[in-house]
């Protein structure tokens, strides 16, 4: 299930993953205003010991710059500049 409440293709996702667990939370997306704000978020994560899973990357379909982190509670969070195109 991929849901949206903004101009993004999705904001909230439940999907299968490599563990095969059913109905597992995939990630939540925080939309920021610019690529520079994604970079700032990466710096803040690094300075505070927040695990960065992957990124900075660019989504092929939207050209949004993003990174994925795991917040201290263990949830996967995407930080992405919405509306890049």
- CATH code of the domain covering residue 40: 3.10.180.10
Q: How many domains does the chain have?
A: 1
pLDDT digits 0-9 by tens, 35-68: 999 999 999 999 999 999 998 888 777 788 999 9
Cis amide prior to 56 (ω within 30 degrees): yes
Residue ranges of alpha helices (H) inside the chain are 35-47
Secondary structure class of 15 (helix, strand, coil): coil
**Percent of the chain beyond pLDDT 90?**
39
d(CA 63, CA 15): 22
- Residue 64 has a pLDDT of 86
- Give 84's contacts (C-beta < 8 A, 6+ positions apart): 35, 62, 63, 64, 65
Q: Where is 42: in which H helix or E strand?
A: helix 35-47
Residue with tokens 């989504």: 59
Could you tell me which residue, 5 or 84, shows the higher pLDDT? 5
pLDDT of 72 > 80? The answer is yes
Residue 17: give the domain boundaries: 2-81
């Amino acid at each position: 299930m991929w849901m949206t409440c903004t101009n993004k293709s999705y904001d909230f996702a439940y999907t299968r993953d490599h563990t095969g667990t059913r109905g597992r939370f995939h990630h939540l997306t925080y939309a920021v205003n610019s690529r520079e704000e994604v970079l700032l978020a990466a710096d803040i994560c690094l300075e505070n010991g927040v695990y960065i899973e992957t990124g900075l990357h660019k989504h092929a379909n939207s050209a949004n710059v993003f990174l994925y982190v795991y917040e201290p509670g263990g949830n996967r969070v995407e930080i992405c500049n919405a509306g890049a195109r």
